[in-house]
Amino acid sequence: MKRLKSSTRIFITAALTAAMVCALLSLCFIPAFSISKDRFTVCDKSGIYICESGSDYVNVREVYPESSGYTYSTDGRIIALCIFSGDVYIIKNSTEQDLLRIVDIYRGGKLIKSVKLAGLRLNSKTMMAADSKGNIYTIDADSYLRVFDRAGRELYKSERKYYNIIPFENYPLCVGADGLYFPGNNSEKKISGATPSGAVRRVSDSFISDDAQDIYNIYTGERFAGTGSGAAVCGKYLVVAFGNELRAYNKSTGNYSARYEAKSGFDYIGSYKDKVVLFDFEGNVSEIIGEKDFSESNEEAKSPSTENEEDKTQAVGLDFGEYKASGKYIYLPPSIKNSTFHKNISHPGYDAYFSGSPQSGAGTGRTVTFKRENEARKFIFVVVGDITGEGNVNTMDITKLTDILLKQKKLKGAFRLAADINSDGRISNADLVLMAQKYKGIG
């Protein structure tokens, strides 16, 4: 490792100190899912699912290991949903009275139970989960965790606020501004060391990923750097997708050690029983990949390049207006929502699908795919200065860039473009200075 100059070390240390002092004021997380017309994936221990939702219906299709689908229509506005062990839990507004919420539980396309939750204030950012006992977990309008049994009796209300909740076997995983927690037995156990950025998603029984595509072991808090377009677990590997290339990182060391080239394009990557499943928007599986399919490699993972790449903005009917597009990347200003971006562009004949709900922030690394008939065009957002994937620029980005420079780490793809603030093709102290000066206090 090259020794940094004294002046460089002093500057970086000072920037890091200032960032840490301010960090608590700007930490925030974007909910992983709230109901609006959208398409998203769920990796449950029972299988992999694609869900498409509207205000009064949900289409749920199992992609793997079975191939089946159901449409659930309701008589009240759908607020949130989750899938646990193949059962679909849907929270909806009651048509009977205010502050009465109904949780409908479906199995195999049939309604098996309805649970009434009284006095529960919810909003469009509500999250929910369930556990093996059938208990229902939801985050209310004030961001507090509420737990109910299948009879609708309230079992627990948290003292701290949460911004996301992810289904796991015994107790769901909760995401707070200061890290990850397991709520259980009327207490909340913090997982030391894990502080994800942006929305958090379940990868497997032991791993999650965040908007920066970093992967975390939820039991140890250990982080594995990603920055690809999707993550999965396969045997001894943590797998990150870069276009059609799957890069495998050793779970024990975090080192890049193997790769696999997909035989065709895909829209989603999922995990099921240590298999990697690749599939498209309609749920058609293109490949199922096992640990032995990866070729061992001693080469360092290379950053995706935009040179000589097809300019996808030339697609007929796509007009991004004021937003700059280059190759597969679209450059956006900080703090813009998917819905705002959607209103300001023109895409006649195409349906737009976002990696997050329309009200979510369009952060670096998130995607939008335009699809019509058999054509799909996928773009990755770049918010200059946003290297944590939250969609805005704050002291979390300063802290992360400082750490990258100190430890001489490498950023890849959209996150590298977002960090190159002066557009000189390099990530350096000059970018850190610009980030600290130009974006300080914006969050």
And the tokens for 128? 């929910």
Mean pLDDT is lowest, of 30-39, 82-91, 139-148, 216-225, for: 30-39
> pLDDT for 291-322, tens place per residue?
999 987 544 444 344 333 444 444 556 888 88
Tell how strand 173-176 and strand 164-166 pair up.
Answer: antiparallel
> In this structure, how many other beta carbons lie within 10 angstroms of the beta carbon of residue 398?
25
pLDDT value for 287: 93
Domain ranges of the chain: 1-30+303-443, 38-191, 200-296
CATH of 38-191, one of 3.30.420.40, 3.40.50.2300, 2.130.10.10, 2.60.40.10: 2.130.10.10
pLDDT digits (tens, 9 = 90+) for 77-94: 888 888 888 899 988 887
* Cα separation values, 183 from 138, 186, 191, 410, Å: 12, 7, 11, 35
Angle between the 6-26 and 429-439 helix axes, to the nearest 10 degrees?
40
Question: What pTM was computed for the model?
Answer: 0.61
Name the most confidently modeled range: 247-251, 367-371, 383-387.
383-387
- pLDDT, tens digit, for every residue of 125-149? 678 899 888 899 998 888 899 999 9
| Residue 288 predicted with pLDDT over 90 | yes
The whole-number pLDDT of residue 307 equals 37
Where would I find the beta strands (DSSP E) of 293-401? 295-296, 324-326, 329-332, 351-354, 367-372, 375-383
pLDDT (tens digit per residue) in 40-49: 788 888 888 8
Distance CA 366, CA 380 (A): 6
Q: Which of helix, strand or coil describes residue 192?
A: coil
